[in-house]
Structure 1
Amino acid sequence: LFSGIDCPRGARIGPGGKLIGENEPFAEEAAKFTRSKIMQREVEVEVEGMDKSGSFIGYMFVQTEQGLCNMSIALVENGLASVHFTAEKGAYYSQLCVAEEKAKKAKLGIWAKWVDEEAIVQAEIASADEKMERTINYRKVVVTDVQRGNFKFAAQSVDDGRSIEAFGPKLEKMMKELREELRKKPPVVGAYVPRRGDLCVARFSADKLWYRARVEGVKGKSIDILYIDFGNREVVDVTSMAALPAGYATQPAGAREYQMAFLQMPNDVDHANNSNIAFEQILFSVPFMFINIEYRNGGIENVTAIIETSDGTRTDVAKTLIAEGHALTEQKREKRFASLIAEYQETEKIARREHRNIWEYGDFTGNEL
């Protein structure tokens, strides 16, 4: 077995020569590529370990016109395998990562449909920062999770030509296929060793079904994870996790995390709890909403949001929270935000004068009107 990589699996030959299962995408190409490189040739093997069936696990090297070729790196470089988390311990991890990046950028093999979302976002943010005026380009999203205490939420984008009705079934189809594969090839309990940043699968505590997840923290057997297609987090036991089957890591995360721009959560615990409730009620009161990316901070897109009620009225979420006395206006120095900040500040003044919620007992900021 080649070390350091996750290669598409091919169908297995069962009793009577009958094929069991189906070839994963590019499994056949990976097999042909490997045969073309090593069949009838002398090779060198660097053994790292052995699996339960007694097969050696390690790196294989074959002499080519370009020099000694590491087959694990060659497969990754040609888009016929991805880097496995176990490679991090080995001597060839950095070379494997470089090879994977090259394959991604060239959209080779398993990366043919890969989209560098981070590069797109960074380009948009850089373009916005160069402009003196505020950029308005609303995107349609479906909120999937709301965090408490920070005005953050997770949402699935439905503004790239997909309708809400079409997006849901597409994600559900991927989930169904993933779970079916795990049913046919059940993971060995305890075999998976989670590492921070890993993509994996985890059983959600509410329904015990498998979902794609990212490891955010490891504390012994308690693992902090983010369900990447829905944006919710929880702590799970390591026995409720498994390696993500090949072919499912290349599909973009279904949900993205956002932070409400220009808002501050009250420090008082009781008021903060009321603000959390109000925030959740607003976001979950409609099937979708529109967000505008204002700026990026700490890797998270900070947005303003608009909801549309049943009568067609459009409401600014941040302004509503400020008006009801559930949030304070955050100060921003950029000129392009001056007009919007001024509007929010005027709304906040009214909430203060009318002693709404956090202003119930008057001003607590030292800026009494």
Structure 2
Amino acid sequence: PPPERQINLSNIRTGALARRAPQSQPDQKDTPDEPYAFQAREFLRKMLIGKEVCFTVEVKTVLGREYGMVYLGRDTTGENIAESLVKEGLANVRREGIRGNNPDQVRLCDLEDQAKASKKGMWAEGGATNTVRDLKYSIDNPRNFVDSLHQKPVNGMTHTHTHVRAVSLFSYWSLLKCPTFKREMDGTETPEPFAAEAKFFTESRLLQRDVQIILESCPNQVILGTILHPNGNITELLLKEGFARCVDWSMAVYTQGAEKLRAAEKSAKERKVRIWKDYVAPTANLDQKDRQFVAKVMQVVNADAIVVKLNSGEYKTIHLSSIRPPRIEGEEKNKDKDKRFRPLYDIPYMFEAREFMRKKLIGKKVNVTVDYIRAATTASETSSVPAFAERTCATVSIGGINIAEALVSKGLATVIRYRQDDDQRSSHYDELLAAEARAIKNGKGLHSKKEVPIHRVADISGETQKAKQFLPFLQRAGRSEAVVEYVFSGSRLKLYMPKETCLITFLLAGKVSCFVTPSRLSLMESQIESMDKAGNFIGWLHIEGVNLSVALVENALSKVHFTAERSSYYKTLASGEEAARLRKEKIWANYEEKPVEEVVHVSEEKERTANYRAVYVTEITDAMHFYTQDVETGTQLENLMETMRSEIASQPPVEGSYAARRGDYCIAKFADGEWYRARVEKVESPAKVHVFYIDYGNREVVPSTRLAVIPPAFSTRTLAAQATEYAFAYIQVPQDEDVRAEVVDNLVRDIQNTQCLLNVEYSGASCPHVTLQFADSKDDVGLNLVKEGMVMVEVRKEKHLQKMVTEYLNGQDSAKSARLNIWRYGDFRDDDADEFGYKLKK
């Protein structure tokens, strides 16, 4: 800013303007205008503001005050301002000290005499009292005052009492924030960067100009207004030139188009002018294709997050910018500790928000504009703020509708408030604030004063007894609407049945295996036919008229199970599988069709297939099931574990920041102090969380402090769970606990943590049944148990298995003859054995 200089007009005096008493000195009273003081000031304002002048200095006092003459124009030939004031009767001539030889002083006296004779200005008869303003420094009810003039332009420089303190409205002009002068303890003022420039920029355009003021709002008794200059809106100009930033909380009341202000601010940021000289855009490091793209919505994670599928086939989690889904406070959550907390159903309006997202987005293409990348955070030991992984936050729209704005307008989400200097926010932040204001005014959703909706949902997943009670109703219902809540695998899903208000585990009928995990949280029709021993329902799913089992088979993603022969869909499944085989796609890519004569021969004399592969036995359960890892993929697991632990070591998880939920994948710290991938199976309390180590097959009950969020780079999408469950073929599991425990002890000693050879013999209810051989001797582990009299043989009726069954029965006969272990009693008969185990009679 250029230097300023104050020039006082020589030889004349005008009335003093009104002054408000200092608020720090309540004993003093306000000083009113002297007659014609305001008129004199207005005369000068209209004559001089914005004009060039020339001045001469005649006297300079000890205190540095300068007195002289001011002329309109660029030289002293212009109009003399002091003479013009005196001529109009707006100033007195100081006659003391007048020198007769000074023509300028003599002329002032002559002009004053002429004004008196003409009765101009202060010399008029009886008119002085009408020149004093009736000023008001405060308004009794500013809200009513603003409402009476709302959005009506008001002249900023008037002298009627209605338009009070026009200059004060400028001080409440809070749509933007400029750098300011900070007052120090000693009374001095220190300017922030660009504060002086911003002040001069505004003063040079507005100070004492005729302007219009639009009163916008009156929050907390403070008046907000917009100042309009004949040449434009000063607010936009300040923003465009980088002298100011927008103020979020007041943008919602701006009636002149908030988008113009944001556009002006954006222009300054892009040009990096003044206060934005060091500005870096939140998405500066992203390529254009990563900033804006079209993707298909595959899953609704939460009311503010979705999973989309990119054109490249990659899945990406997108969080909606600047909004927060419904949530509940901790004490409210812990009211009923005996009841398992289910956020989707127990947090008010969480279910409605998710349903809105699901119905609007699932399976549809959306436009995604990335607004910012929220860096990963760690929870502080002294703060309740939780830890979060890195988030891609974006504006998601479909059909021109901003989904975040739609959620907020329905009261199904709230808008996040930011620090003024936090630029990581939605590109449509003002629209979100306006939508929230409408929702609050109309009492929508979270802002409603009505009772919150309650969702009583029975979770019968894995609850066999409850499942038996629901089965008849679900069977009689035929095709029923169902929402896929979670997809465990291509053929195993968790469904929400809206009509029955229950959650069930659902197995697709007609398939033996599936090689895809569809992640669509979608509305389907379920047709339940039966239930297995674990309380899982078995049936068919239809989406948009398509049988999902048939679709998976036709798309070469699944094979038909022989149990489908009894269903009405068998012909469709069989023909779909045959067509997929002929196309040699996906699971049939390496399929070799055998000659007709060979097929006929095999159908007549089907042989058992012996295709042993190397596995590593990692865990043996009390039920005599065991878990293995394929030796072939062992290196991949080792590399993943090494990389994962290295990353965790560099950025350790914050203890206690993870909230365990059943079915979630996480990482857990084992007794050896190392982190492993795991799945939450049950949550009794924060101190008792049941986890299953997905790569090793063992289970453990741990406190939630030993759990953390699994880094995305090490999820099951990167490497599938490596532990596979199997059961021994051709043998019966002893029902007597002591006998079974002894068998398990033998197995642990012989095969746990060793490499073996495995061959799948036939399918079972919960896992494949296999034979296991020692890697060195090739001896059959199960057959050895039979020969040692540890277990009994399970007789299979399949023709192609009879050779193995006979071998096992021969081993059992030899154990009987030798009276080994379970056969050690003297006289017995086969029918003396209890049908469930080995409680044999003497």
Whether the 8 Å CA contact 1:266–1:358 is kept in 2: the answer is no
What does residue 789 of structure 2 align with?
325
**One-letter identity of the residue aligned with 1:256:** T
What residue number does 1:269 align with?
A: 737
Separation (CA, whole Å) in 1 of partners of 2:832 and 2:396: 73
Matches of 2:517 and 2:774 in 1, distance apart? Answer: 40
Secondary structure, aligned partner of 1:340: helix
Structure 1 residue 36 corresponds to structure 2 residue 313: no
Structure 2: how far apart are the matches of 1:54 and 1:302? 43
Counterparts of 1:158 and 1:306 in 2: how far apart (Å)?
Answer: 15
For residue 52 of structure 1, the aligned residue among 385, 390, 404 is 385
Correspondence for 2:681 among 188, 206, 216? 216
Q: Which residue of 1 is the match for residue 707 of structure 2?
A: 241
SS in 1 for 2:646: helix
**Distance in 2 of aligned mates of 1:295 and 1:32:** 53
Q: C-alpha deviations, 1:72-124, integer Å up to 9, x for none?
A: xxxxxxxxxxxxxxxxx9xxxx79979x99xx9699xxxxxxxx9xx999649
The CA deviation at 1:202 is 0.3
CA distance in 1, matches of 2:321, 2:683: 36
- 1:229 to partner: Cα distance: 1.5
Contact residue 386 and residue 657 of structure 2 kept, 8 A: no
Offset of residue 360 of structure 1: 1.5
Q: 1:95 to 1:335 in 2, by over 3 A?
A: closer
CA distance in 1, matches of 2:618, 2:387: 45
Q: Find the partner of 1:304 among 768, 771, 776.
A: 771
CA displacement at 1:319 relative to structure 2:
0.7
Provide structure 1 residue ranges, at least 5 long, that are not aligned to the other structure: 1-16, 18-27, 72-88, 108-115
Residues 48, 58 of structure 1: 8 Å contact kept: no
Contact 1:47 1:59 in 2 (8 A): no
Distance in 2, Cα, partners of 1:186 & 1:210: 11
> What is the rounded CA distance, in whole Å, between the counterparts of 1:347 and 1:288 in structure 2?
24
Partner of 1:140: 614
Contact 1:141 1:291 in 2 (8 A): yes
Q: Which of 742, 746, 762 is the equivalent residue of 1:295?
A: 762
Q: Is the 8 A contact 2:758 2:773 kept in 1?
A: yes
Does the alignment pair 1:345 with 2:809? yes
Matched, 1:360 2:828: no
Identity %: 29
Q: 5 Å matches for 1:173-252? A: 173-205=639-671, 207-221=672-686, 222-249=688-715, 250=717, 251-252=719-720
- SS of residue matched to 2:747: helix
CA contact (8 A) 1:294 1:304 kept: yes
Shift of 1:351: 0.7
Seen in structure 2, the aligned counterparts of structure 1 residues 125 and 174 have a Cα distance that, compared at 3 Å, is: farther
SS of corresponding position for 2:726: strand
Change in Cα spacing, 1:47 to 1:270, as seen in structure 2 (3 Å) is closer
Q: Give distance in 2, aligned partners of 1:223 and 1:248.
A: 21
SS of aligned partner of 1:188: coil
Contact 2:783/2:808, CA 8 A, preserved across alignment: yes
Matching residue of 1:153: 626
Whether the 8 Å CA contact 2:755–2:774 is kept in 1: the answer is yes
CA distance in 1, matches of 2:516, 2:649: 33
Matched, 1:257 2:725: yes
8 Å contact 2:387–2:654 — kept in the other structure? Answer: no
SS at match of 1:142: strand
| Contact 1:140/1:290 (<8 A) preserved | yes
The AA in structure 1 aligned to 2:654 is V
Distance 1:305 1:67, change over 3 A: farther
Tell me if structure 2 keeps the 8 A contact 1:201–1:212: yes
Q: What is the identity, as a one-letter code, of the residue corresponding to 1:354?
A: A
* Range with greater deviation from structure 2 (354-363 or 343-352): 354-363
Higher RCO structure, 1 or 2 (CA under 8 Å, sep 6+)? 1
Amino acid at match of 2:630: S
**How far apart in 2 are the matches of 1:349 and 1:46?**
72
How much has 1:212 moved relative to structure 2? 0.5
Question: Which residue does the alignment assign to 2:397?
Answer: 63
| Partner AA of 1:217 in structure 2 | K
**Cα offset for 1:45?**
6.2
Q: Distance in 2 between matches of 1:350 and 1:210?
A: 48
- Pairing partner for 1:314 from 778, 782, 785: 778
1:107-126 alignment to 2 at 5 Å? 123=559
For the aligned residue pairs, the C-alpha RMSD in angstroms reads 4.2
How many angstroms apart in 2 are the aligned matches of 1:213 and 1:54? 19
Secondary structure of 1:279's aligned partner = helix
TM-score (ref. length: structure 1):
0.65
* Structure label with greater radius of gyration: 2
1:44: how far off? 8.3
How big is the shift at 1:156? Answer: 0.9
TM-score (norm 2): 0.30
Distance 1:365 1:172, change over 3 A: same
Contact 1:47-1:58 at 8 Å conserved across structures: no
State the AA in 1 paired with 2:731: L
Measure how far apart 1:154 and its partner are: 1.2
Which residue number in structure 2 is paired with residue 13 of structure 1? none
Mark the CA change 1:63 to 1:179 in structure 2 (over 3 Å): closer, same or farther.
Answer: same
* Post-superposition offset of 1:135: 2.5
The residue identity in structure 2 corresponding to 1:211 is Y
| Paired residues for 1:66-145 under 5 Å | 68=401, 123=559, 132-145=606-619
Distance change >3 Å, CA 54–CA 358, structure 1 → 2: closer
Task: Determine the C-alpha separation between the residues in 1 that align with 2:815 and 2:646.
Answer: 53
SS of residue matched to 1:291: strand
Query: Structure 2 unaligned runs (5+)?
Result: 1-277, 279-284, 295-319, 328-383, 405-454, 456-482, 491-514, 519-551, 566-573, 575-602, 834-842
Q: CA deviation at 1:61?
A: 4.9
User: How many matched pairs?
Assistant: 287
